[in-house]
């Protein structure tokens, strides 16, 4: 599979890259409030190199070292709320003999060997990176923006902005940032909520909303999200 090759190539190059990023990453990393159970803030500030967890090199093969993945199937992690990222990492793990609340084979493989402490470190690290914004295509932008801002009242679809924030930066801690996310990934998640492969949303709100959207509406709102900030 293609990604294995990318992963290997990346791991070979990862050690010097991780070092280089460590030198640049201390300022944003220190500015974000860390998730509880992280080392005390004073320690983090005194040892900026520790802000890049060694395990981040694995993730970088798909999500990039700065959390802004270049591949549209892989979500951008940069600038998410750390609590949201940590929750996702935990949700990729099956509990008992039930499928994971967020059932994804690739990410299950990635987190299977990680400790909860590793996950806390990774969530804090990627949350502290600066997110990039994409560009919305003009064609369906009007429809997408109107769904974002006002929902589709006739079908009982609420405004996305009501939970994800007017500019898409989300609301801590349960409503994720969407601003600048890859449209392919956004559509894939709405479909996952619709089919129940993903059912880790509070009170099933996203599963309910996803049932009410047509593929064309999903595409349109995802396109608007790409350029939203």
Asked if 58 is part of the footprint of ligand HEC (rule: CB under 6 A), the reply reads yes
The DSSP letter of residue 64 is -
Contact call for residue 209 and ligand HEC (CB under 6 A): yes
For residue 128, state whether it binds ligand HEC (rule: CB under 6 A): no
- Residue 76: CB minimum distance to ligand HEC, A: 7
Compare residues 44 and 192 and give the one whose CB is closer to ligand HEC. Answer: 192
The reply to whether 14 sits near ligand HEC by the rule CB under 6 A is: no
**Span of 11-19, 24-32, 54-62, 129-137 interacting with ligand HEC by CB under 6 A:** 54-62
* 18 vs 85 by CB, closer to ligand HEC: 85
Q: How far apart are CA 120 and CA 179, in angstroms?
A: 23
Which two tokens mark 155?
Answer: 């079908």
Nearer to ligand HEC, 41 or 112 (CB): 112
Helix (H/G/I), strand (E/B), else coil: 103: coil
Rg for the chain, CA atoms, rounded: 18
Least distance from ligand HEC to the Cβ atom of residue 42, Å: 25
Output 46 or 99, the one with its CB closest to ligand HEC.
99
191 is an interface residue for ligand HEC by CB under 6 A? no
Give Cβ neighbours of residue 198 (< 8 Å, ≥ 6 apart): 101, 102, 103, 189, 192, 206
User: What mask of x and - would describe binding to ligand HEC in positions 170 to 189, judged by CB under 6 A?
Assistant: ----xxx-x-------x-xx
Closest CA to 218 of 147, 137, 136, 154: 147
| Cα–Cα distance list, 74 to 63, 77, 117, 145 (Å) | 6, 9, 23, 23
41: CB partners within 8 A, 6+ apart: 30, 34
> Can residue 57 be called a binding residue for ligand HEC (CB under 6 A)?
no
CB 37 within 8 A of CB 120: yes
Angle formed at CA 226 by CA 186 and CA 122, multiple of 5 degrees? 65
Residues of this chain that interact with ligand HEC (CB under 6 A) are 3, 7, 55, 58-59, 61-63, 73-75, 77, 85, 87-89, 102, 104, 106-107, 110, 122, 147, 157-158, 160, 162-164, 174-176, 178, 186, 188-190, 200-202, 205-206, 209, 221
């Amino acid at each position: 599979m293609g990604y294995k090759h990318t992963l290997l190539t990346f791991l070979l190059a990862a050690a010097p890259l991780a070092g280089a990023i460590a030198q640049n990453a201390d300022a944003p990393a220190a500015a974000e409030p860390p998730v509880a159970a992280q080392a005390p803030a004073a320690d983090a500030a005194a040892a900026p190199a520790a802000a890049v967890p060694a395990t981040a090199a694995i993730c970088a093969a798909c999500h990039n070292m700065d959390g802004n993945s270049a591949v549209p199937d892989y979500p951008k992690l940069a600038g998410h709320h750390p609590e949201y990222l940590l929750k996702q990492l935990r949700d990729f793990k099956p509990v008992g003999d039930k499928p994971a609340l967020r059932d994804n084979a690739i990410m299950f493989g990635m987190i299977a060997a990680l400790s909860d402490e590793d996950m806390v470190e990774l969530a804090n690290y990627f949350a502290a990176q600066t997110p990039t914004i994409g560009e919305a295509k003009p064609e369906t932008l009007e429809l997408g923006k109107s769904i974002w801002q006002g929902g589709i009242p006739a079908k009982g679809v609420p405004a996305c902005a009501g939970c994800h924030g007017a500019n898409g930066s989300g609301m801590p801690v349960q409503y994720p940032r969407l601003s600048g996310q890859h449209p392919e990934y956004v559509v894939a998640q709405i479909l996952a909520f619709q089919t129940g492969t993903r059912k880790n949303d509070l009170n099933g709100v996203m599963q309910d909303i996803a049932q009410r959207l047509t593929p064309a509406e999903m595409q349109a709102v995802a396109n608007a999200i790409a350029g939203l900030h």
